[in-house]
């Protein structure tokens, strides 16, 4: 069963099978949840340079030697230049510029306080058309001269004054070549061509600008007319002037009509409830109530009713004295019949024939006191209100539906109106700008521009005997050779490592996976059977005082990091897997289980590699029954778990025979229940699984454990496979503990 942290520390310190913890500290930066560092990471590049420094140095030497050779064999190069003043210097000269008459300078502003847009001018001066015109004139004397020579040798730049500081209004034009006569001829021809451009060619560009505007104007005008027509049509069709204001008013009306409709419906419901209450109290319909009220208000009818009641009283008294056939009784009966006939006639006279036929309710004929008269009046008034409210509700519903239909259509209409209006504004503004610019260009086309001036004639530096001086040998080629060699060597080094696609350093693994390295296992020849494993384990633990075996120390450090590196949730179970086969995951799982068992923990090593199990071969155990049988049969795990002689706390569960459809079995509820049993019984359960990319077994198991321990072999495991494994783990959301780097050089272990 698990022990507390203090007991674990005591066991680790007092155990004779591992070295004390102070010699194997927990890594301080071990935090699986810490975010990756941001910023440019050049450490991988520096490690490549360190590993391939000989390759880079060799290629750099070859490139440098080639640059020195080419530089020494290069012919002499001659250079010359001239300078042009391209803007007026003083304010008086600027005022004489005819473009000032237009109110808008001819020269474009570059937004930095300069009147001339030097970038545009330099683009024109070095354009293909300009070069062709210069070459055609040079070819008159030098037929072999071409555009390529001019483009490669000519330089146009703005002169910057070092003495006075700042940019000047002078342009320096330089040219260099192998023949000084050709250089001088090119400079003279270029100077004349640039001056002609300042006098004549700019008028051509102005004319082209005017023609462009004239070509664009009809299309823009037609566009404006079409948009205006569309806008007018929409305004007339939907009676729109201000869509925003009208939309607000429309939606306000919809809300108001809806509110009025709700109020009318509520009042109608209240009146109907009142109407039902009054009917229940009076036991009369509205027609019956009107009849009862009319009869009660007629004095003649009430007088007849009183006489009838008196005769009925007399008959009742005389019936006690006389027989029914006596003359007295008959006389009274005749009077009663006459009075009833008069009463019926009077009632018909008061109520009318139709109303008389409907008044069969006895409450109608009864006398209505003042209270009932008030209730009858309230009943009739309520009925009238109900009829009025029903008409009002119908009218409001109809009006509300009309407004709602308008409100549903309005957003689309308003959007269409606003869209057309925006297009009209943009098109109109563009048209106005073009027309304004056209008038400005017409004024400029009729005026003369200020020509540029040559302030330094085309010359080539010469010595005292008037011989042209070639340019000094430049170190640029040498520097280019060195830089090119370094770059080429670095590129080849990177390509070489990309082609090999393996890890050379633990830092590469950590930066590629973004996972923490929990352990580094040195190279060690492993035994293939249990008897040899016992001898091997005893041999590397023989020296109990100093523990010189790096192999054993590495697993002690690995277990320490796992045991104390996850304080929030201690590790009770883990899956040992790799991105590809052959990375030594079974070896890591076996020795990690040995190390954990040496601390007093009860450890179970489960061979879940149901595809190609290997632990039973290493441990010289039969593989007759195992995980497969637990999944297929009703067996208890304790019947199949075996204790290893290496340590009394170390147990193993083999895989059993090969299992078809293992992913389906491992994903079953039965497997999950089995794992819960094992986790409850042992302090630590370690699962050895197939590789992560070829099979999905490890994924199903990892989902029910504390995490994955990924084994990566230095100098063997492909980086691309590890990246694919990382992507799969992130896609499935599987827990990851960290990486164990296998077969590390002993000197690389800290």
pLDDT at 74: 67
Distance from CA of residue 512 to its chain's centroid? 24
pLDDT higher than 80, residue 591: yes
Residue 446 has pLDDT above 70, yes or no: no
Alpha carbon distance 296, 148 (integer Å)? 126
Question: How much is the average pLDDT of 391-411?
Answer: 78
pLDDT of 506? 81
**Rounded-to-integer distance, Cα 536 and Cα 206, Å:** 94
User: How far is 734 from 574, CA to CA, in rounded Å?
Assistant: 12
Residue 6 has pLDDT above 80, yes or no: no
**Whole-angstrom distance, CA of residue 647 vs CA of residue 215:** 96
Looking at residues 502-518, what average pLDDT do you find?
Answer: 86
Quick one: which of 25, 47, 33 has its CA closest to 514?
A: 33
Specify the range with the lowest mean pLDDT, choosing from 287-291, 567-571, 580-584. Answer: 287-291
Count of Cβ atoms closer than 10 Å to residue 411 Cβ: 12
CA-to-CA distance for 352 and 414, rounded, in angstroms?
63
State yes or no: pLDDT of 61 exceeds 90: no
Asked if residue 718 lies in contact with residue 580, where contact means CB atoms within 8 angstroms, the answer is: yes
Q: What is the pLDDT of residue 53?
A: 84
pLDDT of residue 483: 85
The answer to whether the CB of 579 falls within 8 A of the CB of 721 is: yes
User: Looking at residues 78-92, what average pLDDT do you find?
Assistant: 79
Please state, as a whole number, how many other Cβ atoms lie within 10 Å of the Cβ of residue 507: 14
- Average pLDDT on 627-631 reads 86
Q: What is the pLDDT, as a whole number, of residue 710?
A: 94
pLDDT reading at 588 higher than 60: yes
**Sequence-ordered alpha helix ranges (H) in 576-651:** 585-598, 615-618, 627-632, 637-640
More confident site: 548 or 167: 167
Question: Looking at per-residue confidence, does 305 or 467 come out higher?
Answer: 467
Q: Which residue, among 560, 507, 550, has the nearest Cα to 26 in the 3D structure?
A: 560
- In the predicted structure, residue 102 carries a pLDDT above the cut 50: no
Q: What is the b/e burial string over 509-546, where b = at least 16 CB atoms within 10 angstroms of the residue's CB?
A: bbebbebbbbbbbbebeeeeebeebeebbeebbeeeee
Q: What is the pLDDT of residue 195?
A: 86
Residue 59 pLDDT class (50, 70, 90 cuts): confident
Interior angle at CA 665, CA 659 and CA 669, nearest 5: 150
717 contacts 748 by C-beta, under 8 angstroms: no
Please state at what angle helix 506-513 crosses helix 43-51, rounded to 10 degrees.
150
Please give the average per-residue pLDDT across 626-645, as a whole number. 87
Cα 713 to the center of its chain, rounded Å: 36
The answer to whether residue 22 scores a pLDDT higher than 70 is no
Domain residue extents for the chain: 44-73+475-500, 78-206+447-459, 261-403, 515-748
| Cβ count within 10 A of residue 173 | 23
Note the pLDDT of residue 683: 94
- 39 or 412, greater pLDDT: 412
Label residue 239 left, alpha or beta by phi (over 0 means left) and psi (-120 to 50 means alpha): left
Phi/psi at 653 (5° precision): -125, 110
Is the confidence at residue 730, as pLDDT, over 70? yes
For residue 529, the model assigns a pLDDT of 47
State percent of the chain over pLDDT 90: 17
Give the dihedral sign, CA 430/436/440/445: positive
pLDDT band at residue 548 using 50, 70 and 90 as cut-offs: low
Which of the residue ranges 190-194, 413-417, 445-449 would you say has the lowest mean pLDDT?
445-449
Tokens found for residue 461: 């530096």
The answer to whether residues 3 and 572 touch, using CB atoms and an 8 Å cutoff, is no
Is residue 314 scored above 50 in pLDDT?
yes
pLDDT(106) > 80? no
Residue pair 71/478 in contact (Cβ under 8 Å)? The answer is yes
Question: Over 50: is that where the pLDDT of 15 sits?
Answer: no
CB count in 10 Å sphere of residue 164? 7
Please report which confidence band the pLDDT of residue 154 belongs to, taking 50, 70 and 90 as the band edges: very high
The more confidently predicted of residues 350 and 124 is 124
Residue with the bigger pLDDT between 540 and 631: it is 631
- pLDDT confidence bin for 526, thresholds 50/70/90: low
Does domain 515-748 bear CATH number 3.40.50.300? yes
Q: How confident is the model at residue 653 (pLDDT cuts 50, 70, 90)?
A: very high
**What CATH homologous superfamily does 78-206+447-459 map to?**
FepE-like (3.30.1890.10)
The helix/strand/coil state of 686 is: strand
- Per the CB < 8 A criterion, the answer to whether 744 and 522 are in contact is yes
Radius of gyration of the chain measured on its C-alpha atoms: 54
Q: What angle do CA 610, 612, 614 make, to 5 degrees?
A: 100
Average pLDDT, the chain: 77
Name the pTM for this structure. 0.45
Most confident segment among 194-208, 462-476, 478-492, 522-536:
478-492
């Amino acid at each position: 069963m698990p022990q507390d942290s203090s007991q674990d520390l005591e066991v680790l310190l007092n155990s004779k099978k591992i070295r004390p913890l102070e010699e194997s500290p927990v890594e301080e930066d071990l935090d699986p949840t810490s975010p990756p560092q941001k910023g440019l990471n050049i450490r991988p590049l520096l490690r490549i340079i360190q590993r391939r420094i000989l390759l880079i140095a060799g290629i750099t030497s070859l490139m440098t030697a080639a640059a020195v050779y080419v530089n020494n064999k290069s012919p002499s190069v001659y250079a010359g230049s001239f300078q042009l003043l391209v803007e007026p210097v003083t304010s008086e000269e600027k005022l004489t510029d005819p473009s000032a008459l237009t109110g808008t300078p001819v020269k474009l502003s570059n937004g930095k306080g300069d009147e001339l847009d030097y970038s545009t001018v330099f683009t024109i001066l070095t354009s293909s058309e300009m070069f062709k015109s210069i070459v055609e004139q040079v070819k008159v004397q030098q037929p072999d001269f071409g555009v390529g020579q001019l483009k490669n040798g000519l330089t146009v730049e703005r002169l910057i004054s070092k003495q006075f500081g700042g940019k000047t209004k002078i342009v320096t034009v330089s040219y260099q070549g192998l023949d000084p006569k050709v250089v001088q001829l090119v400079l003279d021809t270029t100077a004349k061509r640039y001056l002609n451009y300042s006098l004549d060619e700019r008028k051509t560009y102005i004319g082209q600008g005017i023609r462009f505007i004239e070509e664009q104007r009809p299309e823009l005008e037609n566009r404006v007319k079409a948009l205006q027509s569309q806008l007018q049509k929409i305004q007339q069709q939907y009676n729109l002037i201000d869509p925003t204001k009208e939309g607000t008013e429309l939606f306000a009306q919809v809300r108001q009509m809806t509110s009025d409709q709700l109020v009318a419906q509520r009042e109608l419901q209240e009146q109907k409830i009142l109407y039902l209450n009054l009917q229940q109290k009076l036991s009369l319909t509205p027609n019956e109530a009107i009849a009862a009220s009319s009869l009660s208000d007629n004095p003649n009818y009430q007088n007849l009713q009183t006489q009838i009641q008196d005769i009925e009283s007399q008959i009742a008294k005389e019936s006690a004295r006389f027989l029914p056939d006596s003359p007295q009784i008959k006389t009274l009966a005749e009077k009663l019949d006459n009075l009833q006939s008069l009463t019926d006639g009077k009632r018909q006279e008061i109520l009318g024939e139709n109303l008389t036929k409907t008044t069969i309710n006895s409450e109608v004929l009864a006398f209505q006191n003042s209270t009932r008269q008030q209730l009858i009046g309230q009943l009739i008034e309520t009925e009238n209100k109900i009829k009025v409210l029903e008409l009002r509700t119908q009218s409001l519903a109809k009006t509300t539906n009309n407004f709602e239909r308008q409100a549903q259509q309005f957003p689309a209409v308003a959007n269409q109106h606003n869209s057309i209006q925006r297009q009209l504004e943009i098109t109109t503004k563009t048209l106005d700008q073009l027309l304004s610019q056209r008038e400005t260009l017409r004024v400029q086309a009729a005026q003369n521009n200020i020509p540029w001036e040559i302030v330094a004639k085309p010359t080539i530096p010469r010595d005292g005997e008037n011989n042209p001086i070639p340019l000094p040998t430049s170190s640029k080629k040498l520097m280019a050779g060195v830089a090119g060699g370094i770059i080429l060597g670095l590129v080849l080094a990177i390509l070489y490592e990309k082609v090999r696609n393996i890890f050379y350093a633990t830092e590469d693994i950590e930066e590629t996976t973004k996972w923490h390295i929990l352990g580094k296992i040195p190279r060690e020849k492993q035994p293939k059977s249990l008897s040899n494993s016992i001898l091997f384990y005893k041999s590397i633990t023989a020296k109990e005082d100093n523990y010189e075996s790096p192999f054993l120390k590495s697993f002690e450090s690995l277990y320490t990091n796992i045991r104390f590196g996850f304080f929030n949730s201690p590790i009770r179970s883990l899956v040992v897997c790799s991105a590809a086969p052959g990375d030594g995951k079974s070896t890591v799982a076996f020795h990690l289980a040995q190390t954990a068992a040496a601390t007093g923990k009860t450890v179970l090593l489960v061979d879940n590699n149901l595809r190609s199990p290997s632990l039973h071969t290493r441990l010289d155990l039969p593989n007759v029954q195992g995980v497969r049988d637990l999944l297929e049969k009703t067996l208890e795990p304790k019947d199949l778990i075996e204790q290893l002689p290496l340590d009394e706390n170390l147990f193993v569960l083999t895989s059993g025979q090969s299992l078809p459809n293992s992913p389906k079995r491992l994903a079953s509820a039965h497997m999950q229940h089995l794992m819960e049993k094992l986790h409850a019984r042992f302090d630590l359960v370690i699962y050895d699984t197939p590789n992560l990319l070829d099979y999905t077994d490890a994924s199903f198991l990892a989902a029910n454990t504390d995490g994955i321990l990924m084994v990566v072999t230095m100098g063997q495991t492909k980086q691309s496979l590890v990246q694919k494994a990382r992507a799969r783990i992130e896609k499935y959301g599987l827990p990851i503990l960290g990486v164990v780097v296998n077969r590390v050089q002993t000197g690389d272990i800290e």
